[in-house]
């Protein structure tokens, strides 16, 4: 009788296994603790789990805990990770997202909201689906700024010879090559040591990344360029999305949309505060000559329009959304 009871219990456990796996949602990102992407992921997880009580649980991992971006994209396809968000590496998977690597394309916060409110669903969502991904939400890291140890960056010529870390993004590299820098793709987890040892001279990231990772300790100059707006794309695979029950899809989608205003407010507040904080910690801060950089960006736009299918149309559409 004991053997029969044990067998029944084991059989029940085996039957319950797939159901339990379906309701366990692994959400993993590479973004480090304190950066805007990590904060957004935590808030999303907390609020979504309240809606999903008794239905599903989101387990949240940040700071490369389950791997770097490339690892997470592979695990997403395999199904061992169910949710992730990506930023600068996304063009390697959905080429159309490289539009956000165009320098000085996004004007301001109102422009960001106009893009997020309509353009993504109409233009980018189908591009994600064509590659097997479901675009759930458009979040952000923020506008990127330049730091380095060589000199203040006022105009493109000041970047000449500066070994500048960039994400592994073809168009980000091309942009800084056009400006005269020596762009060096590198995982963000290696940046602090690279700056500390002099392997690289500088890097470019939103202020929340710079402050959260204490780059002020290994960087002298902060040049406020806002040269690129870095979105964050919350994604899963279309296969995973279709497999989730409707109530799970609804909770995830609603929560992802609901936190967008909070993200924008948080980034705006941080940008206003962190410039003074970083200056107080010893960084020398300056504003770049935006007009000079915009003029120097023309070859990047020309190349994007020529090399990306529909590239010029996307540029025109986004520019048309600015006030």
pLDDT in the model for residue 4: 41
pLDDT in the model for residue 155: 98
Tell me how many helices (H) and strands (E) the chain has.
14, 10
Strand 133-148 with 229-237, pairing:
antiparallel
Provide mean pLDDT across the span 266-270. Answer: 94
Instruction: Give the CATH fold of the 2-320 domain.
Output: D-Maltodextrin-Binding Protein; domain 2 (3.40.190)
Mean pLDDT (the chain) is 92
Q: Has residue 109 got a pLDDT over 90?
A: no
Q: Has residue 11 got a pLDDT over 90?
A: no
Nearest Cα to 26, choosing from 78, 70, 95? 78
Q: Could you give the CA distance from residue 284 to residue 260 in angstroms, rounded to a whole number?
A: 32
Strand 221-224 with 284-287, pairing:
parallel
Q: Has residue 194 got a pLDDT over 50?
A: yes
pLDDT in the model for residue 117: 83
Q: Has residue 13 got a pLDDT over 90?
A: no
Nearest 5°: the CA angle 311, 232, 165 is 80
Provide mean pLDDT across the span 38-65. Answer: 96
- Residue pLDDT, tens place only, 139-156: 999 999 999 999 999 999
Q: Has residue 15 got a pLDDT over 80?
A: no
pLDDT in the model for residue 296: 98
């Amino acid at each position: 009788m004991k053997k029969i009871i044990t067998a029944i219990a084991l059989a029940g456990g085996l039957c319950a296994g797939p159901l339990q796996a379906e309701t366990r949602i692994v959400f993993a990102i590479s973004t480090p603790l304190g950066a805007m992407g990590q904060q957004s992921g935590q808030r999303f997880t907390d609020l979504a789990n309240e809606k999903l009580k008794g239905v599903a649980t989101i387990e949240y991992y940040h700071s490369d805990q389950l791997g770097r971006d490339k690892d997470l994209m592979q695990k997403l396809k395999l199904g061992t990770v169910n949710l992730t968000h990506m930023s600068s590496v996304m063009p390697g998977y959905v080429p159309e997202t490289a539009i956000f690597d165009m320098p000085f394309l996004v004007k301001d916060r109102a422009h960001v909201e106009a893009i997020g409110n309509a353009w993504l669903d109409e233009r980018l969502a189908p591009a994600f689906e064509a590659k097997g991904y479901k675009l759930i939400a458009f979040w952000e890291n923020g506008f990127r700024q330049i730091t380095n140890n060589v000199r203040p960056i006022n105009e493109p010529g000041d970047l000449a010879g500066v070994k500048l870390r960039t994400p592994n993004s073809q168009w980000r590299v091309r942009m800084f090559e056009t400006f005269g820098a020596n762009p060096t793709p590198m995982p963000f987890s290696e940046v602090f040591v690279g700056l500390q040892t002099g392997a690289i001279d500088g890097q470019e990231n939103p202020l929340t990344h710079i402050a959260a990772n204490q780059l002020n300790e290994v960087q002298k100059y902060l040049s406020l360029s806002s040269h690129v707006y870095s979105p964050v794309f919350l994604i899963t695979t279309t296969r995973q999305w279709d497999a989730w029950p409707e109530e799970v899809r609804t909770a995830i989608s609603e929560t992802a949309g609901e936190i967008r205003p909070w993200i924008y407010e948080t980034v705006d507040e941080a940008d206003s505060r962190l410039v003074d904080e970083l200056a107080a910690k010893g960084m020398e801060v300056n504003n770049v000559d935006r007009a000079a950089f915009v003029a120097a960006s023309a070859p990047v736009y020309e190349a994007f329009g020529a090399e990306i299918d529909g590239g010029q149309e996307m540029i025109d559409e986004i520019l048309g959304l600015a006030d």
